[in-house]
Amino acid sequence: MNDQLQTATYDYAVPAQQRNRVLRNTYWLLALSLLPTVLGAWLGVATGITRGLSGGVGLVVFLVGAFGFLYAIEKTKNSAAGVPVLLAFTFFMGLMLSRLIAMVLGMNNGASLVMTAFGGTAGVFFVMASLASVIKRDLSGMGKFLFVGALAIMIGGIINVFVGSTTGMLVISVMAIGIFSAYMLYDLKRIIDGGETNYISATLALYLDIFNVFQSLLALLGLTSGEK
């Protein structure tokens, strides 16, 4: 699975040329993966297909779909089918995100909130990419702590689906922004240091980081916005 679900050991013996190639391919595929996400989100908002996916039903659909795709990506990451499966996954994630986007767009300042969340996420990525390129310290030890944090967020999020606490959602969103921003740094450093040599796996890890930061930032902005 991706490194949100497991930690990895760095391999500093990987030649610099190979590391640079993995990083370059990862960036290209990451940029490409955002297109199906946008398409899925647009389709979901335009058709309202995910409007009924609330509460336990939405949670089950998301978990089954997401983990099914993660399993498929793991099985195909070394074959020609890996990229199409990854792009199908990002389309699915965009579709799942559309319900939150539609709710935020329903506010008077909804469009500006979406753009703010997008800009904030891009800013976080730029900062973490810059830090990853200059930090010389081995960050592999962060993995276990980030995993525990991500697991706590996932469990808290599942519980809050049934509790429906606004305060709980705020806390989870803030925690997720912090944890997955740190995960972004960790994953980028792993790629740069040769800890990840498969660009599909590397793209998946960074995509999940970006997706979670954007989703949490958008939820936080929507919850704290004074305009309805």
Rounded mean pLDDT, 126-153? 89
- Of the listed ranges 39-48, 50-59, 201-210, the one predicted with least confidence: 50-59
Question: Cα 56 to the chain's mean position, in Å?
Answer: 21
Q: Establish if 8 belongs to a structural domain.
A: no
- Region 5-32: what's the mean pLDDT? 74
For residue 6, tell me if it sits in a domain.
no
Q: What percent of the chain has pLDDT over 90?
A: 58
Report the alpha-carbon distance of residue 44 to residue 66 in Å, rounded: 17
Residue 3 within a domain? no
Position 176: which residue type?
A
Residue 100 exposure: Cα atoms within 13 Å on the Cβ side = 23
Report pLDDT for 72.
95
What mean pLDDT is predicted for residues 213-219?
95
pLDDT band (50, 70, 90) for residue 160 = confident
pLDDT at residue 5 in the model: 42
Cα–Cα distance measured from residue 211 to residue 208, given in angstroms and rounded to the nearest whole number:
5
User: Is the pLDDT assigned to residue 226 strictly greater than 70?
Assistant: no
Name which of 25, 203, 218, 219 is nearest 115 in CA terms. Answer: 218
Q: What domain range is 194 assigned to? A: 16-224
Number of domains in the chain: 1
Let me know how long the chain is: 228
**Lowest mean pLDDT, pick from 21-25, 32-36, 86-90:** 21-25
Q: At residue 41, what is the residue type?
A: A
Asked if residue 5 is part of any domain, the answer here is no
Residue 32 lies in a domain: yes
In a domain, 81, yes or no: yes
Residue 123 lies in a domain: yes
Q: What is the mean pLDDT of residues 15-39?
A: 90
Ranges 38-47, 56-65, 108-117, 213-222: which has the least confidence: 56-65
Could you tell me the two tokens for 215?
Answer: 């989703």
In a domain, 23, yes or no: yes
**Mean pLDDT, rounded, of the chain:** 87
Continuous segment of H or E residues that includes residue 16? helix 16-47
